[in-house]
């Protein structure tokens, strides 16, 4: 069963198009990474899924109902981001106790355990926390609420790397114990790719890719070597990325299935084959222009 079904979804803010005819389906109990550059519409999409925003057109179903302003969706989902606000009259420990009754599956021993692990000051108000600690605290809510649909929008903003690792571990451990549908948005894929099962890559509000991480990792291959030789192999095929090196050396990234049969031949021709990191691949796929930032400088 698809927890989220999205068909031709479009969202306008006034005249600005934030989501552009997006269609996808997210299966139950999968961890999906929503990847895209800044301003690609990740947060807008997540807020529509959480029921905060109303789609301009198209179909969006969450738990087979329209999420906007829906009590059922609200009861079964939680949206965590770094703009969450809590009243100053509630201390951090108050927040944990006060938010708990809203969520049917709330695990208070987990919440308190994480709270103690990160050694929060229970008497502090939420608004006093630094950016990173705020994210850490919010992530506790996201994990402990054990919502059938857990939406984490850039959950690690401001966290230091040790805390990030702890957070990913905690999320995964609790997910294994209590499987649920999780969507994590991020512009940095490398950090979370091991955690993810699927990746939804969007660019300028439109879908770029939706596949499993394993497929993404084998989606493309990089070839480097003599420009002429390289070009002879990739002739007529879509080049995802191309970078010139000195002395007629060229690096191109190309879809792996286009060239798989020629691997042996390529190697024998003295060219090098590289796997393309998922991060780089996402950047190539969402690039508005072919070629990197270097082109800007080489043009002059």
Q: Which residues bind other proteins (CB under 8 A)?
A: 3, 13, 28-31, 47, 51-54, 63, 69-72, 74-76, 78-79, 83-91, 94, 98-99, 101-105, 123, 125, 128, 141, 148, 165, 168-169, 172-173, 176, 179-181, 194-197, 212-214, 217-218, 221, 263, 267, 272-275, 277
Q: How far is the CB of 42 from other proteins (least distance, A)?
A: 15
Q: Which is nearer to other proteins, 192 or 202 (CB)?
A: 192
Q: How far is the CB of 85 from other proteins (least distance, A)?
A: 5
Helices and strands (DSSP H and E) totals, the chain? 11, 13
In sequence order, what are the residues at sequence separation of 6 or more whose Cβ sits closer than 8 angstroms to the Cβ of residue 165? none
Q: How far is the CB of 126 from other proteins (least distance, A)?
A: 10
Paired tokens of 286: 């969402």
Q: Which is nearer to other proteins, 180 or 210 (CB)?
A: 180
Q: How far is the CB of 270 from other proteins (least distance, A)?
A: 9
- Cα-based distances in Å from 14 to 11, 18, 56, 212: 9, 10, 10, 34
Q: Which is nearer to other proteins, 190 or 295 (CB)?
A: 190
Q: Which is nearer to other proteins, 102 or 245 (CB)?
A: 102
Q: How far is the CB of 130 from other proteins (least distance, A)?
A: 15
Contact between 68 and 24 under an 8 Å Cβ cutoff? The reply is: no
Q: Which is nearer to other proteins, 62 or 234 (CB)?
A: 62
Contact between 229 and 63 under an 8 Å Cβ cutoff? The reply is: no
Q: How far apart are CA 154 and CA 53, in angstroms?
A: 18
User: Could you identify the residue written with the tokens 């390529």?
Assistant: 266
Q: How far is the CB of 13 from other proteins (least distance, A)?
A: 8
In sequence order, what are the residues at sequence separation of 6 or more whose Cβ sits closer than 8 angstroms to the Cβ of residue 203? 36, 37, 40, 285, 286
Q: How far is the CB of 87 from other proteins (least distance, A)?
A: 4
Q: How far apart are CA 288 and CA 135, in angstroms?
A: 31
Q: How far is the CB of 242 from other proteins (least distance, A)?
A: 19
User: Positive or negative, the Cα torsion across 187, 189, 190, 192?
Assistant: positive
Q: Which is nearer to other proteins, 113 or 291 (CB)?
A: 113
Q: Which is nearer to other proteins, 160 or 295 (CB)?
A: 160
From the list 243, 237, 241, the residue with the least C-alpha distance to 283 is 241
Q: Which is nearer to other proteins, 141 or 252 (CB)?
A: 141
In sequence order, what are the residues at sequence separation of 6 or more whose Cβ sits closer than 8 angstroms to the Cβ of residue 64? 5
- Cα-based distances in Å from 217 to 199, 225, 253, 276, 286: 11, 22, 13, 7, 16
């Amino acid at each position: 069963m698809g927890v989220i079904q999205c068909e031709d979804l479009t969202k306008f803010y006034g005249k600005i198009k934030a989501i552009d005819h997006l269609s996808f389906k997210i299966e139950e109990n999968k961890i999906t990474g929503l990847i895209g550059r800044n301003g690609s519409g990740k947060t807008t999409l997540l807020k529509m899924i959480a029921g905060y925003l109303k789609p301009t057109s198209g179909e969006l179903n969450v738990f087979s109902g329209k999420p906007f302003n829906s009590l059922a969706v609200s009861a079964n989902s939680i949206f965590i981001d770094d703009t969450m606000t809590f009243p100053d009259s509630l201390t951090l420990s108050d927040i944990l106790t006060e938010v708990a009754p809203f969520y049917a599956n709330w695990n208070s021993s987990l919440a308190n355990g994480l709270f103690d692990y990160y050694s929060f000051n229970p008497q502090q108000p939420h608004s006093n926390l630094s950016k990173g600690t705020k994210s850490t605290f919010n992530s506790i809510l996201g994990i402990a609420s054990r919502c059938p649909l857990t939406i984490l929008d850039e959950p690690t903003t401001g966290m230091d790397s040790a805390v990030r690792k702890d957070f990913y571990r905690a999320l995964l451990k609790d997910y294994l114990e209590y499987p649920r549908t999780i969507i994590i948005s991020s512009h940095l894929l490398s950090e979370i790719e091991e955690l993810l099962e699927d990746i939804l890559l969007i660019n300028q509000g439109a879908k770029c890719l939706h596949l499993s991480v394993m497929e993404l990792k084998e989606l493309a291959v990089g070839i480097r070597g003599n420009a002429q030789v390289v070009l002879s192999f990739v002739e007529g095929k879509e080049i995802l990325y191309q970078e010139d090196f000195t002395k007629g050396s060229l690096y191109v990234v190309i879809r792996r299935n286009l060239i798989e049969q020629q691997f042996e031949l390529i190697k024998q021709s003295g060219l090098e084959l590289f796997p393309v990191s998922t991060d780089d691949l996402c950047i190539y796929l969402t690039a508005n222009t072919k070629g990197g930032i270097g082109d800007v400088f080489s043009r002059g």
